[in-house]
Chains A and B, each alone.
Chain A
Amino acid sequence: MAAQEAKLVERKAKRLALTGNYAVAYAVKSCDVDVVAAYPITPQSPIVEKISEFIANEELDAEMVHVESEHSALSAVVGAVAFGARAFTATSSQGLEFMHEILFIASGLRLPVVMAIANRALSAPLNIWNDYSDVMSARDAGWITIFNETAQEAHDAVVMAYRIAEDPRVLIPTIITLDGYILSHTVEPVEVIEREEALKFAPKRPRGYRPVLDPDKPITMGVVGTPEYYYEIKYQLIHAMRESVKVIDEVFSDFCKTFGRCYERVEPYRMDDAEYVLISMGATFGEVRAAVDKLRREGVKAGGLKIKVFRPFPADLLEKYIGGGNVKAVGVLDRAVTVGGATEGPVFNEVATALALRGIRLPMVSFVHGLGGRDIFADDVVKMFKILMEHASRGESARRTYFIGVRE
């Protein structure tokens, strides 16, 4: 159900003018986390700065662990969650890269860590602005990954992430993203979920509902997985990630009923009779909406699909929205690159695979734009739709990625 079709739920909500970063920090406070460990990095830093303030003001009773690196930040959070705590960390770009090996350890040990990533391009060249190259480099790390288009979405995603990650059927660490600067530093009115509401929606479970480190009942975590066992233990994670779809849908649906804001793993925009479809994620999708509106006024049946949950990949919903018979061509706007890939668009490659395996044969085009914080304007997206329409008229996919806006 799209956000605009949301059923109105009667509740007295407090609205605050918050940046995306502060929206995340307020949600972390409402979820009553026990441990926060993070290392400052632009554009994430204000999240943990605000949390520090909450702790200093005794609005949040949590342990803030000051570490010397992101590697240690995620390690500290892994330790806290292994002990049974509800913990949080946040990072961006190089910080996420420095956490990289621990990403796999958190998912392999099935620890429900929640982490916010304020997206920022990867160096070199050094760049602090938005693109998705950081989170895309974590796509194989076995984390549930939820992209957000607005500060409100990022706020809501934190509360939902704790409930999803900590569900005994899931126990998978979860990333929630917010576009660097575009969301992290711009102010929006945000309906704040209060502590009682957050804890009712995502209650802290009794200690010991999942295996935790306990001196009175010792277990060993982080064992050697010999060739006889490693494969089976990895398969447990693969299976849990597949099965998490049910829990995510359940949590989204309950969130809709409770708070009146409704999310779907893939959100359609003007898709009912759409012939030309562009897929995108995060705040970038705002430009897709604007371009779709512009083209609709010209009589072009354009539509957009926003991938909100990137892991587990929503192949089922792409099939549902694209496989109906109306769609003539599908484009994907990637804000990250996989250099030397089948195409350079990481999301495109997955969309193309998902559709091909479901027998949906349509002209497909991979677009890349907005690397290193280059602004994407609605007219750029209109241009992508025009290229898509050309391919549709020839009945041909593009064999290579179009790099929109790159100077010759």
Chain B
Amino acid sequence: MSESQGRLLGWREIPIGGIVQEPGNTAKNDMSAWRTFKPVIDQEKCVRCRLCWIFCPDAAIIEVEGEYRTKSGRVYKVSYHVDYQHCKGCGICANECPVKAIKMVEEVR
């Protein structure tokens, strides 16, 4: 099921019995409104251990390739970022981070 140009589909347009004809289309859903707090990753503190990526129940931590040089001179080949469309703000990543590089920041709307 999906929206058509921002409009919710009527009963005649929805596939029979609410089947999903396009597998995986929940990826299009925007879950950002579920959050009260959002995780913010401090790239300087982050040691690229990947634990947040492993623990995230919604696969909302994204591994991005690319060189990052910290102020203290350490060089990493990847960085971790948050997919804010799918992050529900559960805070598991912040809880698991061994170097406290993830802060939960209140959403201001």
User: What residues make up the interface of A, taking CB atoms closer than 8 Å to B?
Assistant: 108-111, 171, 210-211, 218-221, 223, 225, 228-229, 232-233, 235-236, 239
Instruction: Report whether B17 and A218 are in contact in the complex, using a CB–CB cutoff of 8 Å.
Output: no
Chain A residue nearest to B29 (CB atoms) is A226
Instruction: Report whether B18 and A229 are in contact in the complex, using a CB–CB cutoff of 8 Å.
Output: yes
* Interface-centre pick from B9, B10, B17, B23 (highest chain A CB count, 10 A): B17
Q: Which residue in B1, B8, B11, B23 is a CB contact (below 8 Å) of A236?
A: B11
User: What residues make up the interface of B, taking CB atoms closer than 8 Å to A?
Assistant: 1, 8-11, 14-21, 23
Give the interface SS of chain A, mostly helix, strand, loop or mixed: loop
* Interface-centre pick from B11, B18, B23 (highest chain A CB count, 10 A): B18
A229 and B16 CA atoms in complex are apart in Å by 12
A218 and B24 CA atoms in complex are apart in Å by 10
Chain A residue nearest to B10 (CB atoms) is A232
Q: Return chain A residues, CB-CB under 8 Å to B23.
A: 218-220
Q: Return chain A residues, CB-CB under 8 Å to B16.
A: 110, 171, 210-211, 236
Instruction: Report whether A233 and B14 are in contact in the complex, using a CB–CB cutoff of 8 Å.
Output: yes
**A228-B11 CB under 8 A given contacts A218-B23, A223-B20:** no
Instruction: Report whether B19 and A219 are in contact in the complex, using a CB–CB cutoff of 8 Å.
Output: yes
Instruction: Report whether A211 and B11 are in contact in the complex, using a CB–CB cutoff of 8 Å.
Output: no
Instruction: Report whether B20 and A233 are in contact in the complex, using a CB–CB cutoff of 8 Å.
Output: no
**A211-B10 CB under 8 A given contacts A223-B1, A229-B1:** no
Q: Return chain A residues, CB-CB under 8 Å to B20.
A: 219-220, 223
Q: Return chain B residues, CB-CB under 8 Å to A171.
A: 16-17
Instruction: Report whether A110 and B11 are in contact in the complex, using a CB–CB cutoff of 8 Å.
Output: no
Instruction: Report whether B14 and A232 are in contact in the complex, using a CB–CB cutoff of 8 Å.
Output: yes
Instruction: Report whether A221 and B11 are in contact in the complex, using a CB–CB cutoff of 8 Å.
Output: no
A-B pairs with the 6 shortest C-beta distances? A220-B20, A232-B11, A110-B17, A233-B18, A235-B11, A109-B17
**A219-B21 CB under 8 A given contacts A228-B8, A229-B1, A232-B9:** yes
Q: 28 A–B contact pairs at CB < 8 A?
A: A108-B18, A109-B19, A110-B16, A111-B17, A211-B15, A211-B16, A211-B17, A211-B21, A218-B23, A219-B20, A219-B21, A220-B20, A220-B23, A221-B17, A221-B19, A223-B1, A225-B18, A228-B8, A229-B1, A229-B8, A229-B18, A232-B9, A233-B11, A233-B14, A233-B18, A236-B14, A236-B16, A236-B17
Q: Return chain A residues, CB-CB under 8 Å to B21.
A: 211, 219
